A and B are shown apart, each in its own frame.
Chain A
Amino acid sequence: KCQAEMRFDVLAKAGLARRGQLFLPHSVVETPVFMPVGTQGTMKGILPEQLIDMDCRILLCNTYHLGHRPGHKKVQKAGGLHKMMNWPRSILTDSGGFQMVSLSKLMTIDETGVNFESPHTGEMMELPPEKSIEIQQALGADIMMQLDHVIHVLTTGDVVQEAMHRSIRWLDRCNIAHTRDDQALFPILQGGLNLELRAECAAEMAKRARVGIAIGGLSGGEEKSQFWRVVAACCAALPPHLPRYVMGVGFAVDLVICSLLGADMFDCVFPTRTARFGTALVRKGGQLSLNQKRFEDDFRPIDEKCECDTCKNYTRAFIHSVINKETIGCHLITVHNIKHQLDLMADVRKSIELDQVEIFLNNFLSDVYGPIDDEGSKGKEIPQWVRDAVNHMGYKLSC
């Protein structure tokens, strides 16, 4: 499929939320979608076939890591990322900039690009927007991300505006450098927590976006009350034909609220990373640390409602017994956690399709925050920011 054939169809709407299909060269992605992260060109201990069994359509790989090991030239020699990792469906690569900023000790940004000290070799390296696109074109993902000027989300003052404008200029440079027809390039909205800047950025970047667009600069420690307002403002400011990708979002409540505000795509390392520490995601109460002694003789599946291979065949007690001893302990939780996220998004899509968002939202929130009978837990308060966002969307909560 070439650029012209990549498109986003909105199949149904409910309030601000959309249920859509994104047509990419390697798969049709059902949105709203959660994209699991396979940082180094592999999904931690999971075979591509297992992801396909779960009907995962798209995953994310990190340009920064792959550019370093095995190196983008080698990936190109291997026939591209899809072929190298035996993944026939869609892939999104980030620009590499974010990781440079977060993993590198010495980092400066000027008009040319990002300058950083390689944590591996110690030398100073340059990453101009053109280079980021060159690397991503060698990797060959279905979706590439522009290099943007990342600033900390809590930064204030003129810097925010400068970074936003610079990101627009860099987008133009990325667009010029982008020559492969079978890859989409997503701009990344900046503007920090300033809603006016966000709106200005959205207007400029939407003009330049062809397939989809991302909302960047969030999930960096800002207040949730600000987070959801920025997402809502960006979604409202963007034209409907572009799928909206909120970067770095992976907690269940965030996924649900952002989807209902009109966002379409998400990614986060959280479900896979937390699995490696023995934590399983569940509908009731959010998560279980399976290494706790209380699971030693617990013969229930991780989540009774889950139909993943792990929950169909294994007990919490078994997983508890192998955690930190055998790698399969980690594999089993990873399989469950990814399936859990994909199922959650399938439920969100269904509620939009059936126009039953309010019922879904109430059930979902009472699962996450409500009392858990068999554990004697009384439950938690629904956070104010969730109530505010729900109010904004015009739904009523029964609890």
Chain B
Amino acid sequence: MVKFGVEKKTIFGRLGKIESWGPVEVQNSTPSFLTYLRGGHIPHLTWDVAGKQLELSQKHIFQLTLPSLVASAETIKKFGKGVVKFCAIPDKSAVHLSPFDPLGKLPGGYNDMKSIAIWTKNGKVSLDVAKYRNIINSFGCTSFESLVDYDCPKDAGSKRLTKTSERTRHFYEQLFENDEKVEGERIITIGGGFSKFHREKAANDLGGFEKTDGFNIEFHDFWKGEIDVNEMEELVKSVITALPPAKLRIISGPFSPPIILSLVKLGVDLFDSSWPVSIAEEGKAFCLSDDFASSLNCSRYEILDFNNEKFADDFTKPFDNCQCYTCRNYTKGYLQHLVNTHELLASILLVIHNMTEFDRMFKLIRNSISTSEDL
């Protein structure tokens, strides 16, 4: 099981503790994040580099995203020692399998009664329950998410919404039918698109299932483009009020600091680190304002865009107060040079800094919650 307990509830959000993730002891405080993996790695970092140069404040709980590995599913099965060993992920890590890649694409119109579509660099892969169960068992992750029919566009009528929620429920039941062996802790995914009614209904329908310690609120419609925060908040509220309050709530996606802060406020416990990776891949580094999370509306942060030539002549530390490997050893001017010449080292150094700062952000958030009054 995922051993999780809520320790405190405030207007800032709630503080919790994950004691263990399946058999792996973690002792992580929440709000926090799952470490985003692609190809079984923190993007651009070999495990050697991640282990030696990336220092975070809590143990990793990895989010193993499936699209980059699904083409190797047969190979991993033949390999026979699980995905952790196949990808050289550090031994005895908590690894959570997600069918989606928050930085990948997920166009609508490709799901059907039996399967959902996920997208790899080589195109579409249809994932039905039997195939997914096979992957879950041969990968041997600590936990996995149940399948969801994520295809509920804004203009979906109630008939369509009902159909998608039926499919999601069906995918879930089918996964375990006939007492099939399914290895790992289960996290139930709640869909429902833009409909508060169907979000709430899904939460009510699936929230009652036993044998789960956490819920993943599917929100890919908010991964890209301008986000209507109010709309998102309303939807999250409708789900969260219907979920059993003691259980873990996860939202995956490349969300910027202010959005994460507002979701924390609503009671979300876990996010993922796709956002710091995505801006690193654009040649950017971020830094939180000094007063970040000191009050409910302090969510400012600064972005340095190393594509900008103004840094070419600036050989000062990227961020004065950051102690990460990148800030300790390199300068803005050098990062600008690396981005400018499209050198692979640029993404490596920026991922290390951005992940460190992202980690610090959650520390600040937890501090603010712990010093706020209980609700």
By a beta-carbon cutoff of 8 Å, the part of chain A in contact with chain B is 40-47, 49-50, 65, 69-70, 74, 77-79, 84-86, 296-297, 299, 309-310, 313-315, 317-318, 321-322, 325-332, 335
Contacts and interface: CB of A to CB of B under 8 A. Distances in A.
B343 A309 contact: no
A42 B343 contact: yes
A318 B333 CA distance: 35
B121 A45 contact: no
Given A44-B343, A69-B337, A321-B71, A313 B88 contact: yes
Given A40-B343, A47-B53, 4 more contacts: A45-B343, A322-B41, A327-B44, A328-B44
Contact of A86 (B88, B330, B336): B330
A329 B121 CA distance: 15
Contacts of A70: 312, 333, 336-337, 340
A23 to B, nearest CB: 26
B250 to A, nearest CB: 24
A397 B53 CA distance: 47
18 contacts: A40-B338, A41-B337, A44-B345, A45-B44, A45-B343, A46-B345, A65-B341, A70-B336, A74-B312, A77-B333, A78-B333, A317-B79, A322-B39, A326-B38, A327-B43, A328-B46, A332-B46, A335-B46
Contact of B344 (A79, A297, A330, A332): A330
A86 B329 contact: yes
A309 B68 CA distance: 23
Contacts of B41: 322, 326, 328
A315 B48 contact: no
Contacts, number: 115
Interface residues of B, number: 42
A40 B46 contact: no
B87 interface: yes
Contacts of B88: 313-314, 318
B78 interface: yes
Given A40-B341, A42-B338, A74-B312, A321 B46 contact: no
B86 interface: yes
A335 B331 CA distance: 24
A69 B334 contact: no
B228 to A, nearest CB: 33
B347 interface: yes
Contact of B75 (A78, A309, A321): A321
A309 B341 contact: no
A84 B331 contact: yes
Interface in B60-116: 68-69, 71-72, 75, 78-79, 86-88
B350 to A, nearest CB: 12
B150 to A, nearest CB: 23
Nearest to B345: A42
Contacts of A65: 341
A5 to B, nearest CB: 28
